[in-house]
Amino acid sequence: MKPSEGRKRILIEEIQPTVDYGRYPAKRVLGDTITVTAAIFGDGHDHVAARLLYRHHAQRKWNSVPFREINNDRWFATFPAGSPDDAARLGLWRFTIEAWVDHFDTWVHDLVKRLAAQPVPGLAEDQTGSVLRLSERSLPAGVERMPAGDSGQDIPLAFRIGANHIDAAASRAKAADARKLTAAAAALRALADQNLPVYDDPLTPEGILNPSLIALVEKYPDLAFATKHPIEFPLWIDRERARFSSWYELFPRSAGPAGQHGTLRDVAARVPEIAAMGFDVLYLPPIHPIGDAFRKGKNNSVTPQPDDVGSPWAIGNMHTGSPEGGHTSILPALGGFSDFDDLLNATRAHHLDLALDIAFQCSPDHPWVAQHPAWFNHRPDGTIQYAENPPKKYQDIYPLNFESTDWRGLWDALYGVFMFWIKRGVRIFRVDNPHTKAFPFWEWCIAKIQRSAPDTIFLAEAFTRPHVMYALAKRGFTQSYTYFTWRTTKSELQSYFEEICNPPVSEFFRPNIWPNTPDILHAQFQVEDLAQRSAVFRQRIILATTLSANYGIYGPAYELLEGRATKPAPGKTSSEEYLDSEKYQIRNWDRSSPGSIAPLITRLNHIRRDNPALQRNENLHFHAIPNDSLLVYSKSTGDHTNTILTVVNLDPLNTQSSMVELAMDKLNLPWDATYTVEDLLTQAQYTWHGPSNYVSLSPAATAHIFRITS
């Protein structure tokens, strides 16, 4: 069957930024300039024109901006996605592309060639006339001159064809514009009627076809056979913190004086110090009541002592036998809701976000277990299936059953948990193990939440297979934990960051990289020697803060270089579990320890704030250096006003030296440039020349973070 209109001759393909052909939104933040690219082309030799149509979901009409050609049928257009503070422009945007054959533009370019090919009468006699100027003038790049001897009689006919194009534009124009256009068409026909042997150029600023007249015609394109792409591609606009954030995680119960169960008030008292270190997200593990049933003791013991505080991720009831508790309540030992509100106000006063940990699982004494038995998986003996990942068993946790007959009720309850805390003022959630909950739930839940609170940020804690991690990001998670912890060699780091900082992954997956978490103490850190351990901790935080715009640490364990692990499980060479883990007990941290690297972390966070190049990822480029212990990479702002070049010694035992071979174009420097590199860690300055320069880093120095100035 024929299409309803067979004359739509333009094709639009390869549109970016898109995710899975428009099934999911690409992600950007407020204030970003969005660049849309596409292949746009038609049959034959006619010229093409195209425009980008875009709108925030609250706008009813499309905004429009013209596409410009890059090369080889590739086009681009840009638009601003709101201003950085315009919260009304958060959330879902859509864009699409409309393209058409531009017969008028084809005609203009054709006319230029015809004019240039006119015979030049009297050339030998008269070297001064306008005719000569015209025939000698330079043609636009890529335009071939018509063969000499071509009949000048084509030009009046060409003028008449152009006049018809201009009249057609007039018929689509507003009255005032239409009058101008009609007059120009008439003038062009009058010129044609003169049938001159040689014509002067009417495309000059003084001519009939002057630039403003050309622009006026292009203002009223003929869209009768325009192709509009059938997909309205979604684009998700977050607030800036989605792209650039520095997280600090601490256990509130360890925030109190030695020997006491810390409270939310103790946490509030620490906020100024955390803010002064340069963090902008304070993240707390779950603050809810902890189940009594099968409570875990210190070091994950299954035989707890009566005073053991249990794991905050085993969410239970307010106190033994109480039917209250769960995910919308606060562990009494931490305080009450007014304490929580005060903490929230303290973080706000210091421009921090408070991030809560949402772990959708229940201790056996969680109220939902009794109230909603259908949300759990019952076994033939009537018991509820506890969490298991054979051979591991988590008897203190019941997973939720996403194949429940009451899945609708379950979804509503989980959505309700988020909304409860959003109504209290929380806007960042770190979601525990989202990959063990059904994908359709996340897609629905996050979209529904962000319709009313589009400034909400979700961090996915899914340490699992790449497809699963990416699927969660596509379905709405704002940021994601990564494999960074286990990428330690130069080649591992480079290939992993090249994967996650470039399309297609970077369009939907925002890495938030953590050198440590309460669950993961990498073997690299488990070093007895303090100097060596310190070198590893410094190296990893420098990598984290300069490779990724989003990062976080679990403190004070990190700045205090906590490296003691439990004994490895049978058959394993190392454990990633902390000895005396805060997951199961209160820890007292000596933050005044002279070995603390808090000053370095503070410096790094301020370098990140001062240098916008470090606040985004798509600009990451690795440079060549023929030493496998040295990693070199740069980040630049789009306008190259800020460029940071980082060199990291990955060897915590030895000084490493090498010539670095810089890709000068990535630094926006000419091949033979002389430029200054200023180490933002030491304030030392060096003058460098060209791409090849010498670097040498001891384990104590660890890294250069150079700002490049020319």
Taking the complex as a whole, how short is the minimal distance between the CB of residue 471 and a copy of itself, in angstroms? 6
Q: Which residues contact 83 (CB under 8 A, 6 or more apart)?
A: 30, 31, 89
CA distance 327 to 322: 14
Q: Which residues contact 392 (CB under 8 A, 6 or more apart)?
A: none
Measured from the CB atom, is 122 or 466 closer to a copy of itself?
A: 466
- Is 342 considered catalytic here? no
Cβ contact 52:36 at 8 Å: yes
Taking the complex as a whole, how short is the minimal distance between the CB of residue 383 and a copy of itself, in angstroms? 8
DSSP 204: S
Taking the complex as a whole, how short is the minimal distance between the CB of residue 13 and a copy of itself, in angstroms? 7
Cβ contact 248:598 at 8 Å: no
Q: How far is CA 354 from the centre of its chain?
A: 21
CA distance 208 to 210: 6
Residues in the chain: 710
Coil/strand/helix, residue 385: coil
Measured from the CB atom, is 39 or 664 closer to a copy of itself?
A: 39
Cβ contact 291:298 at 8 Å: no
Measured from the CB atom, is 147 or 205 closer to a copy of itself?
A: 147
Taking the complex as a whole, how short is the minimal distance between the CB of residue 137 and a copy of itself, in angstroms? 16
Taking the complex as a whole, how short is the minimal distance between the CB of residue 393 and a copy of itself, in angstroms? 8
Burial class of residue 667 (count of CB atoms within 10 Å of its CB; 0-12, 13-18, 19+)? buried
Taking the complex as a whole, how short is the minimal distance between the CB of residue 40 and a copy of itself, in angstroms? 9
Judged by phi (left if over 0) then psi (alpha if -120 to 50, else beta), residue 296 lies in beta
Measured from the CB atom, is 95 or 525 closer to a copy of itself?
A: 95
Taking the complex as a whole, how short is the minimal distance between the CB of residue 388 and a copy of itself, in angstroms? 8
Cβ contact 257:41 at 8 Å: no
Cβ contact 550:473 at 8 Å: no
For helices 337-349 and 264-276, give the axis angle rounded to 10 degrees. 10
Q: How far is CA 49 from the centre of its chain?
A: 30
Measured from the CB atom, is 436 or 532 closer to a copy of itself?
A: 436
Q: Which of 32, 105, 266, 432 is catalytic?
A: 432
Measured from the CB atom, is 20 or 324 closer to a copy of itself?
A: 20
Taking the complex as a whole, how short is the minimal distance between the CB of residue 411 and a copy of itself, in angstroms? 6
Q: Which of 249, 461, 507, 562 is catalytic?
A: 461
Measured from the CB atom, is 43 or 206 closer to a copy of itself?
A: 43
Cβ contact 619:637 at 8 Å: yes
Q: Which residues pair with 97 in a beta bridge?
A: 52
Taking the complex as a whole, how short is the minimal distance between the CB of residue 410 and a copy of itself, in angstroms? 9
Backbone angles phi and psi of 534, in degrees to 5: -60, -40
Measured from the CB atom, is 9 or 587 closer to a copy of itself?
A: 9
Measured from the CB atom, is 113 or 298 closer to a copy of itself?
A: 113
Q: In Å, how far are 260, 296, 300, 553 from 307, measured between CA atoms?
A: 12, 11, 14, 28
Q: In Å, how far are 85, 86, 145, 237, 450 from 31, measured between CA atoms?
A: 8, 9, 46, 9, 19
CA distance 305 to 319: 17
Measured from the CB atom, is 449 or 607 closer to a copy of itself?
A: 449
- Is 43 considered catalytic here? no
Cα-based angle 639, 642, 643 (whole degrees, multiple of 5): 105
Coil/strand/helix, residue 4: coil
Taking the complex as a whole, how short is the minimal distance between the CB of residue 255 and a copy of itself, in angstroms? 34
Which helix H or strand E contains 343, and what residues bound it?
helix 337-349
- The DSSP bridge pattern shows strands 91-101 and 48-56 to be antiparallel
Binding site for a copy of itself (CB under 8 A): 1-3, 6-9, 11, 13, 20-21, 39, 41-45, 72-73, 101, 110, 113-114, 117, 144-147, 150, 157, 160-161, 164, 225, 379-381, 389-391, 402-403, 407-408, 411, 435-441, 444, 465-468, 471
Question: Catalytic residue positions?
Answer: 432, 461
